[in-house]
Structure 1
Amino acid sequence: MDSWVRFNAQSQAKERIIRAAQYSCTLLGFALHRRDSSGELRRTVLQLEAHLSLSRKLLRLGSSVEALEAAKRSVHLSDSVLRLCLTFSHLNRALYFACDNLLWAGRTGILPGLDQNKWSQRSFRYYLFALILNLTRDVYELRLLMEREARFRASKAPPSPVPGGARTPDRLADPSPPSAALRAAALAWASLRRRLHLVAAVLYGNPPLLLDLLKNGCDVFVPLDRLGLYRTGPGFVGACGLTSSLLSILTILHPWLKLKP
């Protein structure tokens, strides 16, 4: 089992490069359609996209085993939220890869009677569930880091110069209704700005979390569009797929950028 996982990991970089090329073709096909370019060129780009998609499915043969092994490892995590999100995410990925393998067999003629539309829809459903769980994990880790950063800042903050027993002037203690509404809006805006600054500081200090959040955020639009839940069009899907593919290649080139566990 371990030898197969190591062997399969060697093809991940190739699969990511082919994925980037596939979504580049999607984006190019959309641009050619907008410019009313020749139908022959568009057909060539679409055929290339289909061949690249089939090549990716070939490289992902057996990836279900790797996903199941990852699920077995994540079961032992101490954090219950991470354990739940990662385990079910890997299980959904395993089912997604299994459906993808069946689609490869159907498109190559090994299973000529396969209902490709039905299995494609199932594949994208499992893919969407996995991405939702990954995004939930990202948001959870972001919240934990924000709480830690907030506690650190509170411990370093200087004491307030206003004495605790100072009496608030009557003019401020009992404001007129308009000034009270303005003060509430100002306080809400100040609180929002502080939280946004905190989010930016946490993500800036944690590039793996930032990249994983961006990658999953881009990827989620692909199954949403394919399932008809949120139509964005081939141009947007191509841009999102290309962006997430480049981010994945970046984490392969620099392993320290990959979010762990």
Structure 2
Amino acid sequence: MDSWVRFNAQSQAKEKVIRAAQYACTLLGYTLHKGGAAAEVRKTVSQLEAHMSLTRKLLRLGNSVEALEAAKRSIHLSDSVLRLCLTISHLNRAMYFACDNVLWTGKTNLISKLDQHKWSERSFRYYLFSLILNLTRDVYELCLLMESEARYRTAKSSSSLHPSSTSPADQLSSPSSPASPAIVALPVMGAWLRRQLHLVVTVLYSNPPLLLDLLKNSCDIFIPMDRLGIYSTGPGFVGACGLISSVLSILTVVYPWLKLKP
């Protein structure tokens, strides 16, 4: 089983490169269509995209096994939220790859009477649910890191404050500066939003794996939403999102430390 997982990891690296090329063709085809290019050129790009899609499906044969192994590992995580999100996400990925493998047999005419539209919708549903869980995991980890950073800042500022210093809250409540609650609430809310935004930027800047995973999943989620008709964005936007997420995935292969763990 371990040898199969290692072999499959090499296939996945090639699949990511082909995926980037496929979505680049999608984006190029949309650009050529908008630019009024010749029909023959657009047809060639479309055929190239279809061939790359079929090659990706071939390289993904057996990926369900890797996804099930990942689910077996994640079920032992101590954090209950991570355990739930990752385990169910991996199981949905396994079902997505299984549906994709069935779809491959239809596209290669190994099963001539396969309802390709139905199996394509099934695979994208599993893919979408997996991405929703991955994004939930990203947001959860972001919130944990923000809480930790906020506690660190609070402890640091408390230790540096002089006991005799007057806090902004005291100044607002003093008789010399009367103000209505509504007027006071606006700047307080604005200051809170600025602090939260600064926390998000600080945490993501200091955690590149989380930043890349969040960006990758945010781009990927538009693909199944468009294919399922939940939120139609068009081939140009889908191609751009797929290309960006593919490049980010390739970065995690070239630099393994950028891959979010577990």
Supply the distance in 2 between the matched residues of 1:182 and 1:108 (Cα, whole angstroms).
67
Correspondence 1:44-83 to 2 at 5 A: 44-83=44-83
TM-aligned CA deviation for residue 98 of structure 1: 0.2
Please show how residues 137-176 of structure 1 align to structure 2 within 5 Å: 137-157=137-157, 158-159=160-161, 161-162=165-166, 168-172=173-177, 174-175=178-179
2:175 maps to a residue whose letter is: D
In the TM superposition, what is the alpha-carbon distance from 1:245 to its structure 2 partner?
A: 0.2
- Alignment partner of 1:259 is 2:256: no
CA RMSD of aligned residues (A): 1.6
1:128 aligned partner, one-letter code: L
Unaligned stretches of 5+ residues in structure 2: none
Q: Does 1:192 align with 2:197?
A: no
Paired residue for 1:111?
Answer: 111
Identity %, equivalent residues: 70
Shift of 1:163: 7.4
Corresponding residue for residue 4 of structure 1: 4
Q: CA–CA distance in 2 between the matches of 1:221 and 1:27? A: 14
Code of the residue aligned with 1:137 in structure 2: it is: R
Structure 1 stretches of 4+ with a deviation exceeding 6 A read none
Distance 1:41 1:189 in 2: 53
Counterpart position of 2:22: 22
Question: Which 5+ residue runs of structure 1 have no aligned equivalent?
Answer: none
Letter in 2 for 1:162: T
Q: Secondary structure at the match of 1:65?
A: helix
CA distance in 1, matches of 2:75, 2:154: 35
Whole-angstrom CA distance in 2 between matches of 1:67 and 1:247:
20
- Within the alignment, does 1:240 sit opposite 2:241 as a pair? yes
Other structure's SS at 1:16 match: helix
Rounded to whole Å, the distance in 2 between the matches of 1:169 and 1:187 is 16
Q: 1:151 to 1:235 in 2, by over 3 A?
A: same
Instruction: Give 1:95 shift.
Output: 0.2
**Counterpart Cα distance in 1 of 2:65 and 2:34:** 42
Q: Output the TM-score relative to the length of structure 2.
A: 0.95
DSSP 3-state at the match of 1:11: helix
Give distance in 2, aligned partners of 1:113 and 1:163: 74
1:36-65 residue CA offsets vs partner (Å, 9 max, x unmatched)? 110000000000000000000000000000
Per-residue deviation, residues 2-21 of structure 1 (Å, max 9, x unmatched): 11111111111110000000
Taking the aligned partners of 1:110 and 1:187, their CA distance within structure 2 comes to 65
Count of residues in correspondence between the two structures: 257
Taking structure 1 as the reference length, the TM-score comes to 0.95
Task: Name the structure 1 match of 2:225.
Answer: 224
